[in-house]
Amino acid sequence: MCSSFKCFYFHLLPIFYFLIIIAATTTEFKFLDSAKSPEVFDWMVNIRRKIHENPELGYQEFETSEVIRAELDKLGISYKHPIAETGVIGYIGTRKPPFVALRADMDALALQEMVDWEHKSKVPGKMHACGHDAHVAMLLGAAMILKQNENEIKGTVILVFQPAEEGGAGAKKIVESGVLENVNAIFGLHITGKFLIGEVASRSGLMYANSGFFEAMISGKGGHAAIPQHSIDPILAASNVIVSLQHLISREADPLDSQVVTVGKVEGGSAFNIIPDAVTIGGTFRAFSKEGFKQLQQRIEQVIIGQAIVHRCNATVDFLQEEKPFYPATINNGDLHKHFLDIVTKSLGIQKFNEMRPSMGAEDFSFYQDVIPGYYFVLGMQNASHERLAGAHSPYYKVNEDALPLGAALHASLASTYLLKLQQDIPLVEGKYHDEL
């Protein structure tokens, strides 16, 4: 027989859980309606276009960061800056645990924009060709919505405006700064023309591969092409190196552990009839497993040096880890996947979810997932009745701005309902967390 207090408590539990479910469901619709309102939608569009006109490369996002901070100031949202050189970390809620983070990358690419429109890039040779301008606008949109409902946030939402996703490993520097200590989960998204607007795609577990870069200098002895016996030909050596690197995939890699080695850069020689002194090659290598990735790195170096020796050349190999750190695999947390599906079901309908296949692409969101449970998904923006949108990293890349409210609402819903579930499922242990950020 239970005490009267215990009986009362256990009778209340089903009602408490039911109220949480009702509140969460109502929240999703409320956030989506707010994001679609002219006040929020037009504001996001204006921010996105302002950033698009003034693209900045990794760790140079000074004006972008200034735009973000100005908008956070207007919203009354506190923040830390600079983090990782140009990054901005905002806070909404109690400033106390539990903590959940939302991430938007903000760097552009070294491309000349070929789309002629009113808000075309004003900076020659630089362009937002991967949608990071839209990512920033959507996270700011989520910030506005969450700030308007701050009294309902059961913890703290951390806004991560991150520099240098495009090869600069900005996420790694954010992690190393310590600003995400004690964060319970982190969510990130990327817009894409591969799916229709209103659709999302992701998966539980492995999503993107481990990734790294390499560069090699193969040195020989230059001379006249008519008397090759007096030279040591680095071009011939480099050619055999490139072919041999492909044998690592076809003859050494486990067929069930997908791996890639691609040589994308070859530099050497300047005339038809001269054998150069040296050739430089460079490329990328990727693997799903950590073991496969490490083995591939070792063998790339061995093959390049070994093949150079066979052809009487010398070689040096640089994996460029200071400039371009190795990216871990992007692996989505299983529990967060269930949470994501729940939000999508309530806000968009489960028919709008697409199961993604793992890809050999890479994403520096993985640095967060190495230390925090994380979840990454893509948001469709293709309009079925319009022209097919160009892929990312194209000078013809365009963003369908109708996707902005969906991204903002998903951000806000994922964060707020996750904090609500944490309050329900995980009682906070006294002393386990810092009192404040």
Q: Is 224 annotated as a binding residue?
A: no
Q: Is 130 annotated as a binding residue?
A: yes
Dump the DSSP string for 272-324.
Answer: TTEE-SEEEEEEEEEESSHHHHHHHHHHHHHHHHHHHHHTT-EEEEE--TTTS
Q: Is 52 annotated as a binding residue?
A: no
428 secondary structure, DSSP code: P
Q: Is 135 annotated as a binding residue?
A: no
Rounded to 5, what percent of the chain is helix, strand, coil? 40, 25, 35
Dump the DSSP string for 215-226.
Answer: EEEEE-B-EETT
For the chain, what's the residue count?
437
- How far, rounded to the nearest angstrom, does the alpha carbon of residue 421 sit from its chain's CA centroid? 25
> Is the distance from CB of 202 to CB of 350 less than 8 angstroms?
no
State how far the Cα of 269 lies from the Cα of 267, in Å rounded to an integer. 7
Q: Is 166 annotated as a binding residue?
A: yes
State how far the Cα of 165 lies from the Cα of 136, in Å rounded to an integer. 13
Query: In this structure, are strands 353-355 and 274-275 parallel, antiparallel, or unpaired?
Result: unpaired
Residue with tokens 């009839």, as numbered in its chain: 273
Please tell me whether residue 373 adopts helix, strand or coil conformation: coil
Residue with tokens 């989506």, as numbered in its chain: 32
Residue list for the binding site for Mn(2+): 130, 132, 166, 190, 393
Residue list for the binding site: 130, 132, 166, 190, 393
